[in-house]
Amino acid sequence: MMAAKKTQVAIIMGSDSDLGVMKEAAKALDTFKISYDVKILSAHRSPDKTARFAKNAKKNGIKVIIAGAGGAAHLAGVVAAHTILPVIGVPIESKLNGLDSLLSTVQMPAGIPVATMAVGKAGAINAAILAAEIIGICEEKIEKKLVMFKQELVKKIDDKNKQLKI
């Protein structure tokens, strides 16, 4: 399901146990027909590969990086340190309900932003949508898909209301 050449988005995560959450980002990118790549890269266990990935991402044509991690979730911040691409962080649930993951991802010092999403699957899906919104600024094709996506959200709620029984 991974898109072919000219990958626009990189989805990275700290551990393969994060895949259950992060594949939601992949599925959402599929609906926007945005090409992506998925990789396990740990800020702590494979720091050099992570740094190399981040430094080369732009020249490899990547436009947005989505990074998911839990606990002392440093991955998004560490990647953001090495790139001028927008980095989107997805905090993944942990021992402390994901509060640690959220704070470790969002409380970045001035100079190095991480665009932080909600904890868990909703966050992973939204990371993909934000990536689409970012790419959509200069790609009209994506922009149109986003307009349709928003209309679809309204329609789904209409349908739910029709089925609603209480």
Among positions 5-24, residues that touch a copy of itself (CB under 8 A) are: 14-16, 19, 23
Q: How far is the CB of 96 from a copy of itself (least distance, A)?
A: 5
Q: Applying CB under 8 A, does 68 fall inside the site for a copy of itself?
A: no
Question: Least distance (Å) from a copy of itself to the CB of residue 34?
Answer: 13
What residues numbered 100-139 form the site for a copy of itself, per CB under 8 A?
100, 102-122, 125-127, 129-130, 133-138
Q: Rule CB under 8 A: say whether 3 interacts with a copy of itself.
A: no
Say which amino acid occupies 82: H
Task: Identify the residue among 34, 43, 57, 66 touching a copy of itself (CB under 8 A).
Answer: 43
> In the set 56, 60, 96, 141, which binds a copy of itself (CB under 8 A)?
96
Distance from C-alpha of 146 to C-alpha of 151, rounded to nearest angstrom: 9
# residues near a copy of itself by CB under 8 A: 92
Q: How far is the CB of 166 from a copy of itself (least distance, A)?
A: 5
| Cα 84 to Cα 112: distance, rounded to the nearest angstrom | 9
Q: Is 34 in the site for a copy of itself (CB under 8 A)?
A: no
Decide: is 31 part of the binding site for a copy of itself (CB under 8 A).
no
**Interaction between residue 63 and a copy of itself (CB under 8 A):** yes
